[in-house]
Amino acid sequence: MADGTYVEQEFVRDTNYIADRILADPDPSKAPGGDAPVGAQEWPVEPGRYRLAVARACPWANRAIIVRRLLGLEDVISMGVAGPTHDADSWTFDKDPDGVDPVLGIPRLKDAYEARWPGYPRGITVPAMVDVPTGAVVTNDFPSITEDLSTQWRPYHREGAPDLWPAEHLEEMAEVNRRVYTEVNNGVYRCGFAGTQQAYDEAYDRLFTALDWLEERLADRRYLVGDHLTEADVRLFTTLARFDAAYHGHFKCNRSKLTEMPVLWAYARDLWTTPGFGDTTDVVDIKRHYYEVHRDINPTGVVPQGPELMGWLEPHGREALGGSPFGDGTPPGPPPEGERVPVAHNPTLGEDGMVRTR
């Protein structure tokens, strides 16, 4: 969802999320049900207690899907997948039988928000962590969700899981993440929802200035920070994976396609073919979401058939830059059968749900 307001016709994202945290060592004075207000409560890490509600169409949710898979938390935190479209009211679980999430027993994600905060006044967003015993949303603060998966759930990571928040690179990663978020992740939305020509022109210039910076930064290094994958790469990937399919045309980010930015295109292909990235990407859901939901931008709701996806499997040559995706660790195995993206939605996948090799 593109929840936000306009300031002088510039789109400004609403970032006032439910900021509760799920922590390995929560403060008892901030326990749920105590005196701490919603947004400041701390919940305990507890395998099997929480369900991650996502939609594969959403880049912010896709970020959480990738991190959960890279860390091997599938058996520790279950995942409910909403459909790609929604109305002004809520994301819905229309992919499930009878349109009801089989664990939470609800048809709309809004029901989990209302269970926690009756009359919840803000947008119903994904990703969201839901407390299964009560059916109430815990948090929808997407930056904290993925950071906590990496840092608070470490005892439950799979053997060989990557360190996506390496201590020696935290300061540099924070700077990179800040620029990628403001100028790229959110920058495409600032272009797409600009209310005037001036607002659009300024957003467009900011976006491509940042993409040019990334082209230069990644020309001689395989990953954004350090020698292996970090969350910085996850955060950039989800925007790049949607760029040609949605942002270039739908959001008018059309100076260049991703395929016309040689360094970023090779970098994106490198990530796509890394387990956890391309195999979590549902291009049909992505296109349906943007083109069907945003009727103010695309009044007809017509969804484009392209772009062709097999180019994502072309050799990228990024290995020559050194480094390796998992450092001293190992890649995750095939995704659980019930969580695999349909091959019809991503033809780069094989029957095991993994990206094919040429």
Strands (E), 87-177: 128-131, 136-139
Q: Exposure of 323 by Cβ count < 10 A (0-12 exposed, 13-18 middle, 19+ buried)?
A: middle
What whole-number distance in Å separates Cα of residue 153 and Cα of residue 144?
Answer: 13
Q: Which of 17, 50, 113, 189 is catalytic?
A: 189
What whole-number distance in Å separates Cα of residue 244 and Cα of residue 251?
Answer: 10
What whole-number distance in Å separates Cα of residue 155 and Cα of residue 69?
Answer: 15
Q: Which of 17, 58, 191, 223 is catalytic?
A: 58
Q: Which of 26, 59, 23, 22 is nearest to 242 (CA)?
A: 59
Starting at the edge strand found earlier in the chain, the sheet holding 78-82 runs 78-82, 50-55, 128-131, 136-139
Instruction: Note if 191 is an active site residue.
Output: no
Q: Is 91 annotated as a binding residue?
A: yes
Torsion over CA of 211, 215, 217 and 220, rounded to 10 degrees? 170
Instruction: Note if 267 is an active site residue.
Output: no
Please report the sign of the dihedral spanned by the C-alpha atoms of residue 106, residue 112, residue 116, residue 117.
Answer: negative
Q: Which residues are annotated as a binding site?
A: 91
Q: Which residues are annotated as a binding site for glutathione?
A: 91
Catalytic residue numbers read 58, 189
